[in-house]
Amino acid sequence: MQNYFSIQLLRVVKSSLWLTSKKIPRTMRLFILFLICSMSFVHATDSFAQKVEISIDAQNQTVEKVLKEIEKQSGFGFFFNNKHVNLKRVVSVSVDKSNIFKVLDKIFEGTDVKYSVLDKKIILSTEMTSEQQQAVKISGKVVDVNGEPVIGASIVEKGTTNGTVTNLQGDFSLSVSSDKAVIEISYIGYQPQELKVIAGKPLNVTMKEDAQALEEVVVVGYGSQKKVNVIGSIAAVDSKKLESRTAPSVSNMLTGQLSGVTITQSSGNPGQDQGTIRVRGVGSFGATPDPLVLVDGLPGSLNDLNPADIESISILKDASSAAIYGSRAANGVVLVKTKGGQKGKVTVSYNGYVGFNQATELPEMCDSWEYAELYNKAMGKEVYSAEEIQKYKDGSDPYNYPNEHYLDKLLGNKGLQTGHELTVNGGNDKTQYMVSFGYVKQNGLMEHNHYDRYNGRVNLTTELAKNLTLTTRLGGVVSKRSEPSTPGGMDSAGFKAFSSNALRFPGLWATKLEDGSYGLGPKVLGTPLAWLDSGSFYDENFDKFRSNVELAFTPVKGLTLKAIGGYNYTGQQIRHYRSAMEITGGKKLGPSSLSDTMYKTVYKTFQALADYNVKFSKNDLSVLVGYTWEDESQRTVGGSRLNFPSDEVPYLNAGGADGQTNSGGGYDWAIMSVFGRLTYNYDQRYLFETTMRYDGSSRFPTDNKFGFFPSVAVGWRLSEEQFFKEAESLSFIDNLKLKASYGILGNNNIGNYPYQSTYALGKAMNYVFGGVYTQGAAVTTYVDPTLKWEKTRTTDVGIETAFWNNKLTFNAAYFYRKTTDILYKPSASYSSIFGLGLSQVNTGSLENKGWEFEIGHQNKIGEFSYHVNGNFSIIKNKVISLGVGDVEQKSGMIGNGSDLFLGYPMNMFYGYKTDGVFLTDDEVKEWHDQSKIAPNSKAGDLRYVDISGDGKVDESDKTYLGSKIPQYTFGLGLGAEYKGFDFNILLQGVAKVKGQLTNYAGYAFFQEGNIQKWQAEETWTNNQSNRYPKYPRLEVMSNAGSNNTLGSDFWILDASYLKVRNIQLGYTLPKRITQKFGSSNLRFYISLDNPFSISGYRKGWDPEINTDGSYYPILSTYTFGLTLKF
């Protein structure tokens, strides 16, 4: 019924005609002119209304029902302010073929309701008395719950455009139309209020924060939706949650805050410390399982972003929410929306911090003299004499018998970390803008190890004409990452060579000798500390430009047409220089070398969208259709040279010509798509959504280039049902929604040319043709011309609830994801048949299923407010098919543990089970025969279990030993505020997950290397009656390891942990102080990231790391900062 639409403009005119024309806004003057010009046909309409005859017999009916009947018979619609017309009043009317006016006279007899006719509309209004028409001046003060002034709060006389804003003290004054007026007070982030005017009495207003203001709208694919109407499974984080972190990498800021999203950090190397994101498990063992990341609708990276630029991050987890992105959504979609400009005065915001970082964990190595004693034990003979051991111990000859701790000196340091973020925001009715600048500097634990990043962004929205808007988003990133490298002539290079050799080398060699020269080190290679001074480096430079231009046109109400163009440019240069370095005795490491490679990547896209929204009666319908075209190309050029005359000129033209190389290459890919979405809800109760996308990709052969990816979802908000609202016992439930979805997603991350044959060049392919030796080429790989899309079918059911005015929320969901036709290159060889290597084929399938739970609570008690947010996920991963024959893919145990077996998780550990160690040599004879895998076993060696029961231990006894994919993930955030102080803590953890330390990280004396304290203290050699030591007997190992280092559960560790990810304590100065220097907000804070953790992992090792010793420890960061706003 049209009378639910309250006409405010007429009342504005009636209450404001006494103002002078200068005080009347331009839009209001135009409207008055429109009314005057309309008077001629108002009279004509009035005459028409008198001719319309209606018949009504309504006894004891409400005014609402009678007016509906009049509308039905006459074709006229009623417009009025429903606060002035009592719809529930009961009347009795009985007329036969009477005009409308007589009926209305009877309905509103005895009331002050008047009516007039305009076109086909009957306007109901009340006449104002002379008392009401007298202007009244009011004044007052607006403060928050802490008594601090709210600056810039909007004060508006309800139903008019008459208003003002509060000043720096929170005070306001305003002339209103009468002493019956109502004023509306509002401010961003606070609950709006309405107050009746009391003549002669100041109005003191206390505003309460609106805890739900930032959660009302959720970003979805190609748009946004009200949170209560979203059916899909979406995890969202707003800018406020990111403000409590100071990490340079946005991905690490998200850790622990989102259910169903596992983020693992495996390195603390500056510029490479970002987390690996997995949404609801790992969806493929062939293609890349990373989610699609879109920044303002274009592909991007979380870790290039300035955190201050982010307005919100949404992660689309199910098919209903992600299918709109079709072929790239199988592993989830991360949508980042950057901040835009806002109408109003210019605001300037600054956030800056400075602090230091250090390793969360660092293994403790044995002293030199301990190493010598234990080495003698392991060898079973005296390699180091008692006199030598004593010299190592007493330090009497530090150059020949030192006690070096290379790892501590390399990675036991602290690095400076600082960041600065400046944002300018403002605009008017026509143009709004946001300009920002960011800078991050992160020094690592080693010298010459640092990361610098500069961010710039301009977001501009301009109304070019009525219903035509242009939005431009421009972003730039310049970054440089540097780390030391090893001198020339060594087998390994880069920072991993430092960490692995610092673990490996015993501290028996002095870095510098008495004469200042560098010591020989083991195998005459010097020491890791000497390599730092060599001038060798690895530099990686990025220049990135991101642009997004959007033109939006609204030709009619509800319809928006958009054209979007995007252009991304990435320039990358990698320079790796290894110097020639002299060590003692004239020994020189070398030769010097330089490799210099440059990459240029260009991404272009065009999108056309049509979005139509219409509401009628209780129906709300939205239809989106779109087309998108994307293209990316990369070109690479590089070269290398040897024998540089000086470390001061590390440029290719300075190197020698002998041995020089050059290289080049590139790739191109394109994708074209059409997509659509239909969203419908009835009365905010019954929800329905269906999406589709039809993708065509250059990465697939002609017959299979296109894929179709649909989804459907339904929802039911029980809390909106009338029976639910009328049940007094259920009044504490604010929201209760059930939802379910199903859909198909695709995976386009398979490489650029998987269906095309590869050719090899070289002497083996050359041949003589016509007496001339000619260069040849040969096909080396068999390709499958029928390659097709991987597809992931996803089912999701869930429930969302809110209680006690949203003070308590609880959400739960169950999901099932099955990926089929996985593109994978099996390890099985067909070369004996075809003479060619095997490329990718569609083979195998994988499933992920599990539960997600979220709970939140917030409350305010006086001046104290607090919140608690928790999430818990259960994710089970299983390989359910490996293709024809289901051939198990065994890739070995050491390293990443990527064996594939039916019925088990991917990334599993596969090996032997053990039952302690042999206590005597005689026990070896009594045990199962394990000579095939561990010949010549002796006391202190591991006892391998005969699982098959055939009396011997061999390959058939290998079994599943655990998975690197966590089955349980959880996070807990706690926060509180009191009188300007704020405190936040974030806990995160995983459980039922395994890890492994190998080579230098796990084995003592590996390749005659060092030994860690825990190995020395927990070895069977020290307690030969212990059946289950943490370390078997000590032995000196070759590259191949030993009987004890076979892949077995002895080396598989419980990698479960609980980490304190962040603690932040802040204090915001009272506004009465900050306003003295023109600031609206000044806050100081201290922040601790990764300060400590609880786990059962090996001492000195972070449980997030699985390594062979080539690693960079995860960092703890301690910072002090401030935020300032003008």
**CATH, residue 196:** 2.60.40.1120
Res 49: pLDDT: 54
Say if residue 573 is in the same domain as residue 611.
yes
Residues 905 and 918 in one domain: no
How far is C-alpha 994 from the chain's CA centre? 24
Query: Are 811 and 794 members of one domain?
Result: yes
Same domain, 175 and 149: yes
Structural domain ending residue among the three candidates 346, 381, 415: 346
Q: Which residues pair with 500 in a beta bridge?
A: none
In a domain, 262, yes or no: yes
Name the DSSP class of 302: G
User: What gap in Å lies between CA 121 and CA 124, rounded to an integer?
Assistant: 10
Alpha-carbon gap, residue 378 to 590, rounded angstroms: 34
What is the rounded CA–CA span in Å between residue 595 and residue 590? 15
Let me know if residue 543 belongs to a domain.
Answer: yes
> Of 813, 806, 814, 811, which is closest to residue 855 (Cα–Cα)?
811
| CATH code of 59's domain | 3.55.50.30
| Residue 7 within any structural domain of the chain | yes
Tokens in use for 769? Answer: 């043709």
CB atoms near residue 131 (< 10 Å): 9
User: Does 943 lie in the same domain as 884?
Assistant: no
Q: What DSSP line would sit under 1002-1037, residue for residue?
A: H-TTGGG---BHHHHHHBGGG-TT-SS-SB------
Domain finish residue from 68, 93, 126 = 126
**3-class SS of residue 1060:** strand
Would you state the pLDDT for residue 888?
Answer: 60
Q: What count of other Cβ atoms lies within 10 Å of the Cβ of residue 1100?
A: 18
pLDDT for the residue 829: 46
The whole-number pLDDT of residue 770 equals 77
> Which residues in the chain land under pLDDT 50?
1-47, 129-132, 211, 213-214, 829-832, 891-897
Domain count for the chain, please give it. 5
Please tell me the pTM assigned to this model.
0.79
**Cα separation of 362 and 1116, whole Å?**
12
Same domain, residue pair 980 and 952? no
Summarize the chain as % helix, strand, coil (round to 5): 15, 45, 35
Q: Looking at the structure, do residues 109 and 145 belong to the same domain, yes or no?
A: no
Print the SS3 string covering 529-556: HHHCCCCCEEEEEEEEEEEEEEEEECCC
DSSP type of residue 406? H
Let me know: does 821 contact 284? Beta carbons within 8 Å: no
Mode of pairing for the β-strands spanning 559-578 and 537-553:
antiparallel
Half-sphere exposure of 1036 (CA within 13 A, CB side): 14
Are 441 and 418 in contact, with CB atoms under 8 Å apart? yes
With contact defined as beta carbons under 8 Å apart, do 735 and 226 qualify? no
In the numeric block, which tokens belong to residue 898? 């990527």
Classify the C-alpha dihedral 676-681-687-688 as positive or negative: negative
Q: Which of 231, 133, 244 is nearest to 181 (CA)?
A: 133
Please name which of 662, 663, 654 lies closest in space to residue 579, comparing C-alpha atoms. 654
Nearest in space to 280 (alpha carbons), one of 319, 313, 312, 306 = 319
> Quick one: which of 355, 513, 529, 556 has its CA closest to 443?
355
- The span from the CA of 241 to the CA of 250, in Å, is 12
Claim to verify: residue 736 and residue 685 sit in the same structural domain: yes
Separation between Cα atoms, residue 168 and residue 166, nearest integer Å: 7
C-alpha span between 73 and 68 (Å, rounded): 9
Same domain as 605, residue 520: yes
- The helix/strand/coil state of 862 is coil
Residues linked to residue 569 through DSSP beta bridges, in sequence order: 545, 602
- Do 745 and 603 fall into the same domain? yes
Q: Write the DSSP symbol of residue 151.
A: T
Dihedral (CA of 909, 914, 916, 919) sign: negative
Mean pLDDT of the chain, nearest integer = 86
CB 640 within 8 A of CB 598: no
Answer whether residue 377 is part of any domain. no
- CB-based contacts of 1102, cutoff 8 Å, min separation 6: 360, 361, 1093, 1113, 1114
DSSP output for 760-804: EESGGG-EEETTEEE--EEE-EE--TT---EEEEEEEEEEEEEET
Contact 642, 659 (CB under 8 A): yes
- What kind and span of H or E run contains 465? strand 450-465
**What is the pLDDT at residue 827?**
62
CATH code for position 248? 2.170.130.10
Residue 525 lies in a domain: yes
CATH number at residue 408: 2.40.170.20
**Same domain? 768 vs 887:** yes
What is residue 17's predicted lDDT score, i.e. its pLDDT? 31
922 shares a domain with 868: no
What letter represents residue 594's amino acid?
L
The confidence score (pLDDT) of residue 219 equals 84
Close Cβ partners of 955 (under 8 Å, ≥ 6 residues apart): 933
How do strand 182-186 and strand 193-196 relate by DSSP bridges?
Answer: antiparallel
Q: Which residue has the tokens 């997600």?
A: 852
Considering only the C-alpha atoms of the chain, give the largest distance between any 2 of them, rounded to a whole number of Å.
126
Domain boundary at 154, 186, 207, which? Answer: 207
Q: Measure the CA–CA gap between 789 and 673, rounded to whole angstroms.
A: 15
In a domain, 243, yes or no: yes
Neighbours of 126 (CB within 10 A): 17
d(Cα 321, Cα 279) in Å, to the nearest integer? 13
Closest of 18, 33, 30, 32 to residue 162, by C-alpha:
18
- Token pair listed for 319: 């098919």
Domain that holds residue 77: 2-126
Instruction: Evaluate whether residue 484 is within a structural domain.
Output: yes
Q: Which helix (H) or strand (E) holds 35?
A: helix 26-37
Domain for residue 571, yes or no?
Answer: yes
